[in-house]
A and B are shown apart, each in its own frame.
Chain A
Amino acid sequence: MAPHLTRDDVAAVAKLARLELTDDELDAYTDQLASILEHAQDIEALDIDDVEPTSHPFELVNVLRPDEIRPGVDRDEVLAQAPDADEGRFRVPAFLGEPE
């Protein structure tokens, strides 16, 4: 059985999910997530080690198509929706080294 969810667990998960939480939010989410996971104990307790998992309702195999050139979405239309674009590309702040 998985251990009880702690406030530190929630803080670590928020960091992984790239969310900044206030102290109050951390408290609230810890309680709420713990209550949801507590409900999930009904399946934790099931002895189903030998059951195969199902990740999708149907057996899927690779779907292939001929490798032909065909139109995609329009680049200018896509970039027009970007928060910041320059020279046909998405523009972002520095991500290597120190910010300017």
Chain B
Amino acid sequence: MTALDIAAAVRAGQRSAREVLDEHLARVEARDGDIHAFNLVTTEEAMAAAEEVDRKVAAGDDPGPLAGVPIALKDNMCTRGIPTTCSSKILDGWRPPYDATVVQRLAAAGAVVVGKTNLDEFAMGSSTENSAFGPTRNPLDLERVPGGSSGGSAAAVAAGFAPLAFGSDTGGSIRQPAALCGVVGVKPTYGRVSRYGLVAFASSLDQIGPFTTTVADAALALEVIGGHDPRDTTSIPQPAPSLLDVLDRGVEGLRVGIVGELAGEGIDADVLDRLGEAAVALEKAGAVVGEASVPAAVYGLSAYYLIAPAEASSNLARYDGIRYGLRVDGPTTGDVYDRTRTAGFGDEVKRRIMLGTYALSAGYYDAYYGKALKVRTLILRDFATAYEQFDLLLSPTSPCEAFRFGDKTADPLAMYLNDVCTIPSNLSGQPAMSVPFGTGDEGLPVGIQVLAPTLGEPTMFRAAAVLEAAAP
């Protein structure tokens, strides 16, 4: 059942939230031992929340637009009194003293949190293999990765543990796992969704968004979590976009450009075949499809892997063993810092902290970080030029189908190349989403990415709905 169907049935009193929850918990019980989507299943809190929804329905009160919908939260979103680990040893056991704004809004909408999902440590990775608590497995093939960093949230939706899950996307961490697990994943415009209570990785790039099985559920989710939040100074002072009521408007007359730079070298042939079929589907629905160019997109990967680690090296300086999380004792405070960070962070996090520290250090700042910021300007300009000709852009989400465990762990750069199609939208702050569109040569899902200009979610969702209906 979709989130929309569950909410409608619960609101109408046809199904109890508790019964819906029990069904989903039974699936978690049956399969999550193999999949490991969850770091923590919050059974007791979920039962209490579901019963509260049922009480509201019985009393004739409005239980909210997500009444009784089981949801899963990436374990880098703060939940008051409930462990939030970022899949890192350095935060193991930490219970935040507050809820993220997104968590508050979801609870107020009647959603029932089933648990906290696994991720690459601090959201740094593209396979969920960097979790300190072990990898998540792709529910469609347990020998393969679910993608990352929000691999646990993608897997939770693909496995039917929850119809709706939330992740964060800094360079593709929602869209790429959505593609690899065959579900819908959305990165909204930067500032659409509050980052208050999202543990920071790269603050100028991070954005929260939903995973769902349908485009309509993603629209509903974004309507609930979107909109201005005074507690996030980068939050856009606008209400959440109205998306559900534009879904059936189609794409008649819309101009859609296939981004040449993201649809050639480095992308598997079967993925490019699906992209071509997706373009045909949009054309058949009345869109005008052409070839678009975003020349600076080819520099996105390099710019991203300087900017994101630079911001991360600063953001992760706070983990020092003094105020929360792990502390490894030593004779001086300096020793505590060094020992705690050395013991608490995993390899990839250390690698990125060092890369970022280096990129920001005296003598190299101009050559690396400074240059990357200028490339960001070029990417914004090139997108602006492309959007003079096109309403939407199209590309693959991931260059390949889900890969096998260990295939890319030995070479960090090979892993980073997974993000080549998704990174440009983070650098530009513009919305993009992945829609499942058939399978590749190995029988695993392929995702098509729809990109839109700033605040262009309504148009983006119209195209996504058409692709969903036409998907093979």
Contacts and interface: CB of A to CB of B under 8 A. Distances in A.
Contacts of A56: 204, 234, 429
A99 B413 contact: no
Interface in B381-434: 411-413, 416, 427-430
A60 B429 CA distance: 13
B191 A10 contact: no
A84 B327 contact: yes
B299 interface: yes
B330 to A, nearest CB: 7
A94 B332 contact: yes
Contacts of A95: 332-334
A88 interface: no
Given A39-B413, A81-B94, A54 B338 contact: no
A26 to B, nearest CB: 10
A69 interface: no
Nearest to B345: A19
A77 interface: yes
Nearest to B321: A83
A78 to B, nearest CB: 5
A11 to B, nearest CB: 10
Given A16-B361, A17-B313, A83-B321, A2 B367 contact: yes
A2 B335 CA distance: 32
Contact of B373 (A17, A54, A84): A54
Contacts of A81: 94-97, 323-325
A20 interface: yes
Contacts of A23: none
Contacts, number: 172
Interface in A43-100: 43-44, 46, 48, 51-58, 60, 63, 65, 73-74, 77-78, 81-84, 90, 92-95, 99
Interface string B303-331: 10110000001000000111111110111
Contacts of A52: 374, 377
Interface in A22-55: 29, 32-33, 35-37, 39-40, 42-44, 46, 48, 51-55
Given A54-B377, A90-B323, A95-B332, A74 B342 contact: no
A56 B377 CA distance: 10
Contacts of B380: 54, 57
Interface residues of A, number: 51
B331 A13 contact: no
A74 B80 CA distance: 11
Contact of A46 (B305, B313, B351, B371): B371
B233 interface: yes
B336 interface: yes
Interface stretch (B33-41, B43-51, B124-132, B352-360): B352-360
B339 A20 contact: yes
Contact of A99 (B191, B332, B337, B416): B332
Contacts of A29: 350-351, 354
Contacts of B95: 81
A35 B412 contact: yes
A2 B364 contact: yes
Nearest to B416: A36
Nearest to B98: A73
22 contacts: A2-B368, A10-B358, A16-B361, A17-B341, A19-B350, A29-B350, A29-B351, A29-B354, A35-B412, A43-B303, A51-B374, A52-B377, A53-B376, A54-B373, A54-B376, A57-B190, A81-B323, A82-B322, A83-B321, A83-B325, A93-B333, A93-B335
Given A37-B355, A58-B429, A81-B96, 15 more contacts: A19-B345, A19-B354, A21-B342, A32-B412, A37-B368, A46-B375, A51-B377, A54-B376, A56-B234, A57-B190, A82-B324, A83-B322, A83-B327, A93-B333, A99-B332
Interface of B: 94-98, 190-191, 204, 230, 233-234, 236, 298-299, 301-303, 305-306, 313, 320-327, 329-339, 341-342, 345, 350-351, 353-355, 357-358, 361, 364, 367-368, 370-378, 380, 411-413, 416, 427-430, 454
